[in-house]
Structure 1
């Protein structure tokens, strides 16, 4: 296999489903900007297929694809960590073997920056060409690298959207073909989603239910349903119980319902999963036994769903729920909110040197030290592999900096048995109007600054 046939790159491009896709303004805007910043007449976004170079966006020349034997960009991806620069295409021996692609005869200089997938695989390039021999300036190269990173983000977003689309298809199939009733209510208690089994059991259509509340649909049962719903949303904890409903046509039935808070882009909603237990309600002793078993399973699942198995800290799902809750309170002006994002410095090298069991033990110790360094009421999370997060309700920027520095010191001064371990920490404090994404992004940028400044420090 040649470098041009790299199976990982070809697989990544296949997953993106981008080859031979249509024109997208975001890519066109970036190639136009690339020409402006480098003062070059031609710019392309290219993707390296097995036997061809395909052009996603063009500025200055209209190209669709060129064979690999005419492709400068296939050479550029051989050095994925640095730009590929040719000051004179007619005299540089590195490109002497390449055929000249139609339309490219006048081009004399080339600058290409590889587009890297998350695992460091070069998928293609952002490149500019000039019809004169030239030396590209340092700031022009850096500008093109910045634009290339933006294109990489677009590609990652495309991959995410592809996965979400697939998940949505699978979710719909699962929800509409399972044996359970499922529904979602918004903050005004109106039904915003119901699955097919729910409609079939109730004998209603979506138009009958969506946008309506329990008091409109089943007034007799509504007070009890609302009481349970309000408890779930007030405590932000799951709840379960037997619910008795009377349909508009007078039928009585019972649901075993499990309700829980659900973080959505519009805030926290109420979700419910219910199973029809009408046929078994009269066999009370059997039902009670099954209830106990179900409660134990739900309790274990609930604990697993919000806890990281290795460190015992809250996990990423719990982080999203806690952040949504604390942001709502911060927006209401009841108290400030700060966030710490934490990265264990050079932890991959630590794992490589001492092995994953030792690395896992170190992560457990770090989690324990972070918990000891936090204040009462703070919440600690394992955010990713070697990344942690801490939410600090009631902490302004000064207090958050103090907690962050305490966390950094307790880890740096711990008597590690192998070699010292340090942390880089990013601090961000909520400002009015900030979303969960804004606050997390601010903390992430601060963390990036801490690492860029030498690590083992706090930034924010």
Structure 2
């Protein structure tokens, strides 16, 4: 694609702004490329130069103790105009463009320059891999070819590094989004690792654990998971510990419900679930969750009570009523006194049934109220 001068300048600055390599590995690799260029071309100075709007900066430099120069003093600004060729200046003192250049008349007293453009796959030339000498000289065809190859390796490395950084940033953003979602979950989601020496520790657990166990030291809990047993009801601790150890030993799913003793003396019901995932070697990673199921437990107990009341408590008055109705059916019209007594008893039993139904409804409404924050 052909860009106008203005478009190319803007695109160059946009691309350059994305190259922010601060790790020592990047610096070492770039320094090795400049060292190789200087060695092959037999020059005391070699640079990886990026051309900006107001200055050129040296991403890597060998044999030079300055980090940047004003753009008007730059040789590289001419080199980037011919992205497919090596730009060579053999005698800058005789070149009208450079004879008064501070880099020529002063330090480093430049007498030879050769710059290989660093052009991206998108056709934007960022700067050069250049070699500089303080004496008159020239490059052989083999050296020119080698400088082109090194320039290509340089831009390939820079683009791969940039892509790696972008992927890392995407990963960090994804992790950040996951944590935001995870920390708003009602479940404490976790990843637990059991390594070769049977050491158990959490490699991840979300912030919900602080809501479930507010008095637990979360950071300490990550490295010492069994400390959570102190918060479990004494009668349930051994069951929880033994079932988990058994699940780890046999690499099987773990699903258990148990009681938690709250600081105020009340009891909550928690459920823990996890499943194993084998990794190379003997390391096993478990994915799971902790959940407060107190409301669910209360709801189930209410349902069980309603079923029990219907099947046991209410059977007696209903049976009595059926018996009384049967007496009415077999009695004759002349036995009015007995009929009145039977009707009286039917009324009593009806009121008893109505009272039981009202009691069941009140219990249900209490549990329903406790669920209002959930549903």
Question: What range is the shorter-chain TM-score in?
Answer: 0.5 to 0.7
Q: Does 1:123 align with 2:126?
A: yes
- 1:22-421 superposed matches below 5 A: 24-80=27-83, 82-88=84-90, 90=92, 96=97, 100-102=101-103, 103=107, 105-114=109-118, 116=120, 119=122, 121-131=124-134, 132-138=136-142, 140-141=146-147, 142-164=149-171, 172-176=179-183, 178-188=185-195, 189-202=200-213, 203-213=215-225, 217=229, 219-225=238-244, 243-247=256-260, 251-255=267-271, 257=273, 261=277, 269-273=285-289, 275-283=291-299
Quote the offset at 1:12 in angstroms: 3.1
CA 1:207/1:90 → structure 2, altered by over 3 Å: closer, same or farther?
A: closer
Q: Which runs of 5+ in 2 are unaligned?
A: 230-236, 304-375
Cα distance between partner residues in 1 of 2:166 and 2:100: 33
Cα distance between partner residues in 2 of 1:263 and 1:54: 46
For the residue of structure 1 that corresponds to 2:34, the secondary structure is: helix
For the residue of structure 1 that corresponds to 2:270, the secondary structure is: strand
Larger Rg: 2
Relative contact order higher in (CA < 8 Å, ≥ 6 apart):
2
Quote the offset at 1:180 in angstroms: 3.7
8 Å contact from structure 1 (residues 258, 273) kept in 2: yes
8 Å contact from structure 1 (residues 15, 159) kept in 2: no
8 Å contact from structure 1 (residues 262, 271) kept in 2: no
Cα distance between partner residues in 1 of 2:176 and 2:158: 27
CA RMSD of superposed structures (Å): 4.5
Higher helix share: 2
Cα distance between partner residues in 2 of 1:262 and 1:170: 26
- 1:422-437 superposed matches below 5 A: none
CA 1:148/1:15 → structure 2, altered by over 3 Å: closer, same or farther?
A: closer
Quote the offset at 1:143 in angstroms: 4.1
For the residue of structure 2 that corresponds to 1:135, the secondary structure is: coil
Cα distance between partner residues in 2 of 1:99 and 1:199: 70
8 Å contact from structure 1 (residues 110, 130) kept in 2: no
For the residue of structure 2 that corresponds to 1:244, the secondary structure is: strand
For the residue of structure 2 that corresponds to 1:204, the secondary structure is: coil
Cα distance between partner residues in 2 of 1:213 and 1:183: 11
CA 1:275/1:36 → structure 2, altered by over 3 Å: closer, same or farther?
A: farther
CA 1:226/1:171 → structure 2, altered by over 3 Å: closer, same or farther?
A: same
Deviation track 1:383-417 (CA, whole Å, cap 9, x = no partner) reads: xxxxxxxxxxxxxxxxxxxxxxxxxxxxxxxxxxx
8 Å contact from structure 1 (residues 70, 99) kept in 2: no
CA 1:137/1:182 → structure 2, altered by over 3 Å: closer, same or farther?
A: farther
For the residue of structure 1 that corresponds to 2:220, the secondary structure is: helix
8 Å contact from structure 1 (residues 125, 148) kept in 2: no
8 Å contact from structure 1 (residues 115, 122) kept in 2: yes
Q: How many residues align?
A: 274
For the residue of structure 2 that corresponds to 1:190, the secondary structure is: strand
Deviation track 1:211-255 (CA, whole Å, cap 9, x = no partner) reads: 234597454224445666778x77xxxx8x864244476844334
Q: Which runs of 5+ in 1 are unaligned?
A: 288-460
Q: Which residue of 1 aligns with 2:371?
A: none
Cα distance between partner residues in 2 of 1:100 and 1:228: 76
8 Å contact from structure 1 (residues 109, 134) kept in 2: no
Cα distance between partner residues in 2 of 1:280 and 1:186: 30
Quote the offset at 1:272 in angstroms: 3.0
Cα distance between partner residues in 2 of 1:155 and 1:272: 36
CA 1:78/1:40 → structure 2, altered by over 3 Å: closer, same or farther?
A: same
For the residue of structure 1 that corresponds to 2:115, the secondary structure is: strand
8 Å contact from structure 2 (residues 193, 202) kept in 1: yes
Quote the offset at 1:258 in angstroms: 7.0
Quote the offset at 1:42 in angstroms: 0.9
Cα distance between partner residues in 2 of 1:127 and 1:270: 53
Quote the offset at 1:134 in angstroms: 0.7
8 Å contact from structure 1 (residues 114, 148) kept in 2: yes
